[in-house]
Every structure is written in structure tokens, then in C-alpha cells.
């Protein structure tokens, strides 16, 4: 029996997409070596490509890959110099092979251990993000490199270095102890948040590889919540990602032009996602352990509840940003608070807050975009134009530049009309 190559590729792609994380986690758990686990899994893929054409698709591709990877691991360990030291590992793998079945459900799910390992705070933060995307998300090194705008060899080196540190420094492949749990959880959620944030930013630039990062963040957040349903902040983060993704289709025009929240066609928002997010957020808030992700989700939730932009509860949103600033007093959060104040008609307070943080966010594009917007709403068009020009100079995304140019022209037109109106007024004759 032979199987067509494209059929094999499709079957393999499906398995890699859905089960790679689980299979690598199983291998890494036995081997206590992520690097070796990845190598063995890769070898199994290579052999699948070579063999399945001749033998046909195995009954359970997952079980087949795991079995081949385990045997390859045994061979690799036998060849290593410290054979004696590794003999316990070989015995364990041999025992696992003896227990192999074709049932996918028999494969233990160690992905939570894997995510805690990949997000270990002893690793460089950019490496944590890349490693999580590779081992759990199944993204390739070139894909991750493209998503974070670095060269493939740079990303490959970053990944290799991180995996080597995990193995050489003895970063354990385990769930953290209770005393460390809160800090380690924070690191995991931060990695998912960074992935989401990078993907979200890209939605303004219609960059498909980077938009997929939102899907990855959603997948990872779901994974963590499914393992740890009592973590309020994990639920909060999942709700935040869902609220944000619910609006993804309304965020860009067909031409790729970015559409700001207030101009979005709200009928395009995904109601199922919003519903799921609201339930998650309620469940999280009931736990009484408020945190930054729950607060951000609550802010997104208020946006999603408003049937029109005018109905947005900006007072409540600026209040939530105030609470958020109390926990995470970063200038960026205070900038968002200023934006909310601006929308709620408190333009003077908004500008006062922007003034306080301006020196902290020099050359930060969103600051000038926000400042311009508040001035524009206050009818201070000259000041608005000044800030728009600054924001445009600092923009890197063409869609964003186009949007800001449009606003700039609006301000120019306003000034033009006013000055024409002023000239028409009879001026007092000078003595």
C-alpha cells in the first residue's frame, strides 16, 4: 500500500499542529532534556516522511512518532560518552516503549510542565517567548524570526542558547513548588501576553505571520486555563485575548487600512468570543484576586458591551485604568488613562496627565497620537497638528501613518476654515 506524498504532508502537518507540544512534552519529561526531545521528535518527522509513503499512514500517527522518537533517544543516549550515567534514562524509555499503545489518550499530557520550563525566569525574556512558540505552538524558527523582525540565524542562536541553558543549568522539567508558583505563573502569563501584544500590534500593519501570534496567544492561554482553572489572572488573560480577537475583522479595512475602535462596524465583532470572554471574566473576578490582566479584560469588556462608540462607558474605563495604574504604575498605563479621560470629556485632566508623563515617554509614538487626539477633541487644532506630525514621524506601520495623515488633514482644514472666517470679519482700523 502506498500513500501519495501530499496526503502524508497533510497528515503530518495536522499532527504537528495539534499534538507537537504534547508529544515533545512527553519526551522532554522522560529525557529531562528539551534539546534532545526536540531533536528526537524532528528525527521521527523525517522518518515519517521517508516511511509512510511505503507503509501507508499508521493507525495512530502520534503513537508512531512518539515510539520512533523514543527509540532514537535510546540510540543517542547509548552513543553518548556518559553511557553509565544515562542508563537509568534508557531503562525508563525502554519501559515506556513496552507500555506503548495506539491510543492517543494514553499519551500523558505534560504540556504544563513544558510551558513552565520554557517560561522559566532564569531564561532571557525574548528566549522564553521564542521557545514557547516553538515547542508548544509548533512555529518554525524562520516563522518566529519573521514574527519578531529578527534574522533567522539570530533567532536560531537564541533558541539554541536557551535550550542549552535548560539542560546545562538544570532547569527542572516540573511544575513549580507552591512557594514559587505565583512568580512563575506571572512569567508564563507575561510570555503569552507578549505574544498576544506583538500579534495585536501587527493587526495594524496587515502582516499575516504576526497576526497568527494572536491565535498562538489564544491557544496558549486556553492551555493554561484548562490546566489551572483556579488561576484568576490566567482566566483574565484568556478573556482579554478573546475580547481583543473578537474585534479583529472590524479592525482593518479590505485595503488594509487600520480602523480605530470608534469607527469600527460593531456588527462584525464576534459575539461568541465576546460571550465566552464575559463568562471567563466574571468567573475570574468572583475569585477576588484582582490583577492586571483581569483589569485590562474588564476595560476591553466595557468596549465590547457598548452598542455604539458613543455609548462607551469612558468614565468607568478611566476608573479601571486608574486601578490598573495603582498596580502597574507604568507611564503607558497612565497614558491610556489620559486617553480614557479625554474620551469621557475630561480633556483638561487628560492633558495634565499627559504632561506629567511626557518626559518618561519621549519618542513613544502612541503618546503623541494620544496627545494629538485630546487636543483635536478640545478644538486646539494647532497643538493637535504639532503632535500629529510628531506621531507620524515616529510611526513604523504604513496603515497607522495613513490614519494619522487623515486626522492631520482634518485639523488643517479646521484651521483653514477658521482663519478664513477670521479674515472675513471686519478688522479694527489701526490708529
427 forms part of the interface with another protein (CB under 8 A) = no
**What is the closest distance, in whole angstroms, from the C-beta atom of residue 252 to another protein in the complex?**
44
HSE-CB for 311 with a 13 A CA cutoff: 8
In three-state form (DSSP H/G/I as H, E/B as E, the rest C), the secondary structure along 274-310 is: HHHHHHHHHHHHHCCCCCHHHHHHHHHHHHHHCCCHH
Contact 113, 166 (CB under 8 A): no
Measured from the CB atom, the residue of 4 and 88 that comes closer to another protein is 88
Instruction: Please list every residue from 152 through 191 that binds another protein, using CB under 8 A.
Output: 168-172, 174, 176-177, 179-180
Give the C-alpha separation, 61 to 308, whole Å. 49
* Strand partners for 252: 258
Collapsing DSSP to helix, strand or coil, 411 comes out as helix
**What is the closest distance, in whole angstroms, from the C-beta atom of residue 390 to another protein in the complex?**
38
**What is the closest distance, in whole angstroms, from the C-beta atom of residue 301 to another protein in the complex?**
36
Measured from the CB atom, the residue of 79 and 272 that comes closer to another protein is 79
Size of the site for another protein (CB under 8 A): 16
Instruction: Please list every residue from 359 through 418 that binds another protein, using CB under 8 A.
Output: none
* Strand partners for 258: 252
Question: Which triple of cell numbers denotes residue 112?
Answer: 504544563
Measured from the CB atom, the residue of 82 and 308 that comes closer to another protein is 82
**What is the closest distance, in whole angstroms, from the C-beta atom of residue 77 to another protein in the complex?**
11
Measured from the CB atom, the residue of 78 and 174 that comes closer to another protein is 174
Instruction: Please list every residue from 189 through 218 that binds another protein, using CB under 8 A.
Output: none
**Hunting for cell 475583522 — which residue is that?**
249
Measured from the CB atom, the residue of 84 and 208 that comes closer to another protein is 84
**What phi and psi values does residue 67 have, to the nearest 5 degrees?**
-65, -45
Measured from the CB atom, the residue of 116 and 200 that comes closer to another protein is 116
Nearest-5° Cα angle at 394, 352 to 375: 30
Instruction: Please list every residue from 313 through 352 that binds another protein, using CB under 8 A.
Output: none
265 forms part of the interface with another protein (CB under 8 A) = no
Q: Is the dihedral of CA 223, 228, 234, 238 positive or negative?
A: positive
Contact 137, 21 (CB under 8 A): yes
Element (H, E) at 85: helix 83-98
Measured from the CB atom, the residue of 170 and 329 that comes closer to another protein is 170
Measured from the CB atom, the residue of 50 and 122 that comes closer to another protein is 122
3-state helix, strand, coil in the chain (%, to 5): 75, 0, 25
**What is the closest distance, in whole angstroms, from the C-beta atom of residue 82 to another protein in the complex?**
3
**Hunting for cell 484651521 — which residue is that?**
415
Q: Is the dihedral of CA 216, 218, 224, 227 positive or negative?
A: negative
Measured from the CB atom, the residue of 110 and 300 that comes closer to another protein is 110
Cβ neighbours for 167, distance < 8 A, ≥ 6 positions apart: 33, 34, 35, 36
122 forms part of the interface with another protein (CB under 8 A) = yes
**What is the closest distance, in whole angstroms, from the C-beta atom of residue 181 to another protein in the complex?**
12
**What is the closest distance, in whole angstroms, from the C-beta atom of residue 108 to another protein in the complex?**
20
* Binding pattern for the stretch 72-111 against another protein, x by CB under 8 A and - elsewhere: --------xxx--x--------------------------
Taking residue 429's Cβ as centre, other Cβ atoms within 10 Å add up to 5
* Binding pattern for the stretch 24-63 against another protein, x by CB under 8 A and - elsewhere: ----------------------------------------
**What is the closest distance, in whole angstroms, from the C-beta atom of residue 172 to another protein in the complex?**
3
Measured from the CB atom, the residue of 122 and 348 that comes closer to another protein is 122
CA separation, residue 286 to residues 127, 232, 274, 289 (Å): 34, 9, 18, 8
**What is the closest distance, in whole angstroms, from the C-beta atom of residue 125 to another protein in the complex?**
17
Cβ neighbours for 137, distance < 8 A, ≥ 6 positions apart: 21, 216, 219, 220
**What is the closest distance, in whole angstroms, from the C-beta atom of residue 171 to another protein in the complex?**
5
**What is the closest distance, in whole angstroms, from the C-beta atom of residue 249 to another protein in the complex?**
43
Give the C-alpha separation, 250 to 263, whole Å. 9
Measured from the CB atom, the residue of 175 and 332 that comes closer to another protein is 175
Residues lying near another protein in the complex (CB under 8 A) are found at: 80-82, 85, 120, 122, 168-172, 174, 176-177, 179-180
Amino acid at each position: 500500500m502506498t500513500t501519495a506524498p501530499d496526503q502524508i504532508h497533510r497528515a503530518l502537518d495536522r499532527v504537528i499542529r495539534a499534538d507537537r507540544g504534547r508529544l515533545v512534552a512527553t519526551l522532554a519529561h522522560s529525557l529531562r532534556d528539551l534539546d534532545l526531545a526536540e531533536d528526537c521528535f524532528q528525527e521521527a518527522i523525517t522518518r515519517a516522511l521517508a516511511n509512510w509513503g511505503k507503509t501507508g499512514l499508521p493507525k495512530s500517527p502520534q503513537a508512531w512518532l512518539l515510539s520512533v522518537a523514543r527509540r532514537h533517544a535510546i540510540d543517542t543516549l547509548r552513543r553518548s560518552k556518559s553511557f553509565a550515567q544515562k542508563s537509568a534514562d534508557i531503562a525508563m524509555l525502554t519501559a515506556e516503549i513496552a507500555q506503548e499503545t495506539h491510543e492517543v489518550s494514553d499519551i500523558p499530557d505534560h504540556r504544563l510542565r513544558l510551558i513552565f520550563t520554557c517560561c522559566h525566569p532564569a531564561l532571557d525574556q525574548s528566549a522564553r517567548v521564542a521557545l514557547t512558540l516553538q515547542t508548544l505552538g509548533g512555529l518554525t524558527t524562520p516563522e518566529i524570526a519573521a514574527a519578531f523582525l529578527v534574522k533567522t540565524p539570530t533567532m536560531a542562536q537564541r533558541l539554541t542558547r536557551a535550550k542549552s541553558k535548560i539542560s546545562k543549568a538544570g532547569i527542572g522539567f516540573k511544575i513549580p513548588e507552591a512557594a514559587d508558583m505565583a512568580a512563575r505563573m506571572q512569567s508564563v502569563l507575561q510570555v503569552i501576553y507578549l505574544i498576544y501584544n506583538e500579534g495585536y500590534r501587527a493587526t495594524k500593519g496587515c502582516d499575516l505571520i504576526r497576526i497568527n501570534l494572536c491565535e498562538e496567544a489564544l491557544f496558549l492561554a486556553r492551555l493554561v486555563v484548562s490546566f489551572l482553572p483556579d488561576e484568576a489572572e490566567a482566566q483574565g488573560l484568556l478573556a482579554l485575548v478573546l475580547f481583543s480577537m473578537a474585534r479583529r475583522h472590524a479592525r482593518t479595512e479590505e485595503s488594509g487600512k487600520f480602523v480605530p475602535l470608534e469607527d469600527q462596524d460593531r456588527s462584525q465583532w464576534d459575539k461568541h468570543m465576546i460571550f465566552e470572554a464575559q463568562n471567563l471574566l466574571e468567573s475570574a473576578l468572583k475569585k477576588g484576586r484582582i490583577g492586571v490582566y483581569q483589569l485590562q479584560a474588564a476595560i476591553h469588556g466595557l468596549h465590547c458591551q457598548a452598542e455604539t462608540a458613543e455609548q462607551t462607558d469612558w468614565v468607568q474605563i478611566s476608573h479601571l485604568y486608574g486601578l490598573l495604574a495603582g498596580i502597574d504604575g507604568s507611564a503607558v498605563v497612565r497614558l491610556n488613562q489620559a486617553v480614557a479621560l479625554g474620551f469621557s470629556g475630561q480633556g483638561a485632566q487628560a492633558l495634565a496627565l499627559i504632561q506629567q508623563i511626557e518626559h518618561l515617554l519621549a519618542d513613544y509614538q502612541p503618546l503623541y497620537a494620544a496627545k494629538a487626539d485630546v487636543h483635536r477633541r478640545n478644538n486646539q487644532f494647532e497643538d493637535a497638528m504639532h503632535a500629529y506630525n510628531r506621531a507620524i514621524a515616529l510611526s513604523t506601520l504604513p496603515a497607522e501613518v495613513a490614519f494619522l495623515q487623515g486626522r492631520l488633514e482634518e485639523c488643517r482644514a479646521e484651521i483653514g476654515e477658521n482663519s478664513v472666517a477670521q479674515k472675513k470679519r471686519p478688522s479694527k482700523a489701526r490708529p
